[in-house]
Amino acid sequence: MDAARRVVLVVDDEAITREVVTVMLGIEGVEVHAAHDGEQALELARDVRPDLVLLDVMMPGIDGFEVCRRLRDPAATGHRPRVVMLTAKSDEESRRVAAEAGAEAYLVKPFSAIDLFRVVEGAA
Amino acid sequence: MKPEEAAELERAKEQLLVLARDVNAMYQAERARARELESALDALEESYLATVRTLAFIVEAKDSSTREHLERTHDYARALARVVMPDTEIGPDLSYGFLLHDVGKVGIPESILCKPGPLTDEEYEVMKTHPLIGVQIVAPITFLGGAVDVIRCHHERWDGRGYPDGLAGEDIPLGARIFSVCDTFDAMTSDRPYRRALPFDDAVSEIERCGGTQFDPDVVDSFVRMCAQLRDGTAGLAAG
């Protein structure tokens, strides 16, 4: 990972995922912000302008795919962060939808710390 | 507990297990890397020492003293350092210093360095510049550390009448105080063109006599003790 400022936004309704990501990426000196639903995620993304958003799929309110679409909307001007889905859904259909929504990678829960570091580095 | 809470707890457990395995894998990888680095460092240290030896032998080849004198004095001084500082790990920089102590002699004209008879006062003044020439020569070599003290101060005397700085007592770095005893001892016990070697015991007595004037009396005590053990065959001059 380069020494430049790296900001990651993790979005998950379950606290364990938010905490694990915050602690693991903290080791690498990444600035981590956390949101517990889609609404809060979109708001935080505007404020902190993350380089990468780690996004759960099944959340109350706006689901992860929709959040991803809005973050990656080609019509939107300005900041478009990289998105990696972070989800227990590992079926082909979900992967296809994620790719179409503009996610560049797909981490299946429970996820490995090594894979997590890899996606933050952009090597996934 | 509600079913969704139980499911969440189950997922948290699974996540924890995966991370625990990750930590283990990363720890093993780090340990392997640490071992690799350690052996690379050992190899590096060895090649440093080989380089320093070569540099030292180049100087000695020009001088009348020999490679054997250099190696012996180095071995004496390492052994004495272990006696004087039993609780201190003797690093390689002392070895570098012992080996390179006379490196400045490359800057002394051969007419003076290899003169068979005694030196005139002027010649002696030139000869006395070799420690500082040595310090200048090795200045760019950062890994020498405390070795530079030995190069600079190996002709200082406990009573302050040495050169180049006229330091006295404990102002003289310990490595240099240890080295000067061994250097003198080996010179006395070696044949020279103009005199025969002194017997071992006579040389030890001579060192003892110079404790408190030329040499640090504590270092001399340690040296005498070490020599007694050597004579009894209860200690060896293990290299290292």
Q: Express each pLDDT in A41-79 by its tens digit.
A: 999 999 999 999 999 999 999 999 999 999 998 777 678
Cα-Cα-Cα-Cα dihedral sign, residues B206, B210, B215, B221 = positive
Give which of A62, A63, A72 is closest to A99, Cα–Cα. A72
Residue in chain A lying closest to B4 (CA): A14
At B114, is the pLDDT very low, low, confident or very high (cuts 50, 70, 90)? confident
Cα-Cα-Cα-Cα dihedral sign, residues B49, B55, B58, B62 = negative
What is the C-alpha to C-alpha distance for residues A124 and A118, in angstroms, rounded to an integer? Answer: 6
Total-model pTM: 0.66
Residue in chain A lying closest to B10 (CA): A110
Contact B79, B240 (CB under 8 A): no
Does the beta carbon of A123 lie under 8 angstroms from any beta carbon of chain B?
A: no
Residues in chain B, how many?
240
Give the other-Cβ count within 10 Å of B137's Cβ: 17
H and E: helices and strands count for chain B: 10, 0
Sequence-distant (≥ 6) Cβ neighbours of residue A105 within 8 angstroms: A84, A85, A119, A124
pLDDT at A77: 66
* Residue of B10, B17, B18 best to disrupt the A interface, most CBs of A under 10 A: B18
CA-only gyration radius of chain B, Å: 26
Output the six-digit token pair for B42.
Answer: 């050992």
Residue B66 has pLDDT above 70, yes or no: yes
Sequence-distant (≥ 6) Cβ neighbours of residue B35 within 8 angstroms: none
pLDDT at A73: 86
Contact B132, B152 (CB under 8 A): yes
Give which of B102, B91, B207 is closest to B158, Cα–Cα. B207
Which of B15, B22, B26 lies at the smallest CB-CB distance from A16? B15
Chain A 9-28, residues with CB within 8 Å of chain B CB atoms: 14, 16-17, 20, 24
Does the beta carbon of A62 lie under 8 angstroms from any beta carbon of chain B?
A: no
CA-only gyration radius of chain A, Å: 13
At B91, is the pLDDT very low, low, confident or very high (cuts 50, 70, 90)? confident
ipTM above 0.90, yes or no: no
Which of A16, A17, A113 lies at the smallest CB-CB distance from B22? A113
Distance from CA of B44 to the nearest CA of A (A): 29
- As a whole number, mean pLDDT of residues A17-40 equals 92
Report DSSP state, residue B213. T
